[in-house]
Chain A
Amino acid sequence: TQLLEQSPQFLSIQEGENLTVYCNSSSVFSSLQWYRQEPGEGPVLLVTVVTGGEVKKLKRLTFQFGDARKDSSLHITAAQPGDTGLYLCAANNFNKFYFGSGTKLNVKP
């Protein structure tokens, strides 16, 4: 069973559209991270959220940590082709990184 469930699995949208990706678990985490992975590369950290209810913004990306620290969301405003990639949420428990199943985003020009 997957510790972290992500939805949707695939998302194909037009440039300029908004989207939200979800990461859910039945477990409570001290922190959650979001990574982005491009083809042929390893994942790269986008953000770490630590406090329940926390909202962090990174340009057009908005990350939220659920109040109960069991879930998180990533919202992208006005998506661009450069946002295309695999988005992964990850939980860091006792120095181990557990990754979700990933959301593959394709932004068409």
Chain B
Amino acid sequence: EAGVAQSPRYKIIEKRQSVAFWCNPISGHATLYWYQQILGQGPKLLIQFQNNGVVDDSQLPKDRFSAERLKGVDSTLKIQPAKLEDSAVYLCASSRGGEGTEAFFGQGTRLTVV
């Protein structure tokens, strides 16, 4: 089966600009996650969707970050305006859900804010 697809792979923007990332999860996976991974650290959950509804966005900086999952499939994560500290890899993951289930990750988008 096809894996989780993300684009773009790399993005360089200036601070205060906006940027958007796209994710296409594995077909049939109801749960979709966006993680932020700062260099050398573990991924930090930003937002979790179940189908097209938000389950948890408690760690999402809502003054600048937004995310949506259209029709319960693809998802976009947007940052506006970007700050220097937003430089990180943004990982999208999906899972079938349930105890002991596995999270499947995309390759991520490496964002550099200059």
Contacts and interface: CB of A to CB of B under 8 A. Distances in A.
Interface string B84-114: 0000000101010111111101111000000
A97 B33 CA distance: 9
B42 A100 contact: yes
Interface size class of B (residues with CB under 8 A): 20 to 34
Given A42-B106, A43-B91, A95-B48, 17 more contacts: A30-B99, A31-B99, A40-B107, A43-B43, A44-B105, A48-B102, A88-B42, A95-B31, A95-B55, A95-B95, A96-B48, A96-B56, A97-B93, A97-B95, A99-B43, A100-B42, A102-B42
Interface of B: 4, 31, 33, 35, 40-45, 48, 50, 55-56, 91, 93, 95, 97-103, 105-108
